[in-house]
Structure 1
Amino acid sequence: MERLIAIIAAAVIGTIGLGYVAENTVLSFMHSGTEAAIAQAGDIWSQTRAVYGTTVAGGQTDFTPINNADAIKAGIVPEKSSPDGQTIRGPWQGSTIVLTGTTNTLYEDWNGVPSSACARFALSQPTNGVFVNGTWIVETGVQTGASSAVAQACNRGSTDSLSEVKFSFTETTGQ
């Protein structure tokens, strides 16, 4: 009888331990998605500047021709991030990135950002501003309270708790 109680107690303790491990694993994956997105957004900007920025083509920046397919072919985005050579996947399930540009501005449009990661992600990059769920927020110090404006805009995400974050990176080197 004592042996049976010991086995049951060990099973209960083991189940509680497994639950704790599973919960922490899920939390680490959720946070690692945000960390991965922050790194990926910065890498895309850095790699795009190296290909389209002032360091090439006689010092003339022109992000106008950039699109997803060309970014993948140019090695700006790793091929593993694109299963079809056109769609760039983000680190969160179902998230995608669309790259566009103007003469001196690169836009990284991130769709499917979990609203729980939205504010931290939107404030993570050295941009001149960011669109959050369609709301333009200047991050250069011109607008005070950018953090609270981002948080409010993140709360306007879709009903399935997903947000859109569109970074506006402006190349100012050599201008």
Structure 2
Amino acid sequence: MDLIVSILSKYGLQALALVLVMGGVYEAFHKSNAQTASSWESELVTNIDGFFQGGLTARNFSGLNNSVAIKASLVPKGMLNGDGSTIKGPWPNSYVTLSPTSNGMGFMATWSAVSSDDCATFARSQSANMVSVNGTTIDPTNNAAAAGIAMACDAGTSSSTATIAFEHDS
């Protein structure tokens, strides 16, 4: 009997260790999507700002769209699918749409199908002039911005994805 208990204990601990390792791998991969998206958004902002403002006297983002950004090589390579107009995010079925603001003095990067588990981390990762999460506009300079982002993301809801828009003004 002691032998059977010993064997079961040994294999039970190995199974538990395997589950913990698999959970750690999942968590590391899961976090990497938010980190990847944050890095890509930062690179997009830097590249777009530099291209539309660098050396030009008329600083204006009018005419900015996905095709223009791709043709000007402003989009990180990992975001391209080769069709010349689609910018993809790191989550399944996630895409980014670039557009100028209404006055042309800034631009929007709208991310669709952001995992709700990554929503708050990703939305807080940028130094944008304005953030919109699932249609809720949040002023990043407001003292309650972090709580507003958390409430708008609400990973506990049945929706498994979110839409996040960053406005970057010059």
Q: TM-score, structure 2 length as denominator? A: 0.85
Give 2:108's aligned residue: 107
Is 1:131 the counterpart of 2:132? The answer is yes
Give 2:147's aligned residue: 148
CA offsets per residue over residues 42-78 of structure 1, 9 Å max, x none?
110001011112x222x32111111111211211113
1:168 offset after TM fit, Å? 0.4
What is the SS of the residue equivalent to 2:75?
Answer: coil
Distance in 1 (CA, whole Å) between partners of 2:109 and 2:156 is 18
Distance in 2 (CA, whole Å) between partners of 1:159 and 1:64 is 37
Give 1:23's aligned residue: 23
- Letter of the 2:25 counterpart: T
- Letter of the 1:153 counterpart: A
Contact 1:90 1:97 in 2 (8 A): yes
Contact 1:92 1:112 in 2 (8 A): yes
Change (3 A) 1:5 1:123: closer
- Letter of the 1:108 counterpart: A
Q: Percent identity?
A: 29
Distance in 1 (CA, whole Å) between partners of 2:70 and 2:37 is 17
Q: Note the aligned Cα RMSD (angstroms).
A: 2.5
Structure 2 unmatched runs, 5+: none
- Letter of the 2:110 counterpart: D
Distance in 1 (CA, whole Å) between partners of 2:153 and 2:20 is 30
Distance in 2 (CA, whole Å) between partners of 1:158 and 1:28 is 23
What is the SS of the residue equivalent to 1:75?
Answer: coil
Give 2:97's aligned residue: 98
Give the number of aligned pairs: 167
Q: TM-score, structure 1 length as denominator? A: 0.83
Structure 1 unmatched runs, 5+: none
Give 2:34's aligned residue: 34
Distance in 2 (CA, whole Å) between partners of 1:44 and 1:157 is 30
Contact 1:114 1:161 in 2 (8 A): yes
Change (3 A) 1:158 1:133: farther
